[in-house]
Amino acid sequence: MPQYYDNEFKKKIVRLKLEEGRTAKSIISEYGVSKASITKWCQEFREECQSNSEAQKDFDSMKEILRLRKELEEVKKENLFLKKAAAFFAKEID
């Protein structure tokens, strides 16, 4: 029996996928939706972006937020590495 999801729920799932970069597997386990539904909703949103400038702005901001989150994660890893290296070299000097 097909399940009905309202538009707000679909938008939330699309945001999780496109903005937060969540995997389909993690969304499926948390929300119980099918991978086909996630794929379909993301595709529908991308198609809507072609004709709706507001949706295109949302899509662009989602991509930018995802890019910035990934960049932040990389900078955090680099910072942690540098802290460990500094601690290592501080021990060598003593």
Per-residue pLDDT, averaged over 11-17, amounts to 92
**pTM of the shown model:** 0.67
At 54, is the pLDDT very low, low, confident or very high (cuts 50, 70, 90)? confident
Side chain identity, residue 19? E
Q: How far apart are CA 84 and CA 80, in angstroms?
A: 6
Q: How many helices (H) and strands (E) does the chain have?
A: 4, 0
At 2, is the pLDDT very low, low, confident or very high (cuts 50, 70, 90)? low
Residue with tokens 């309202």: 6
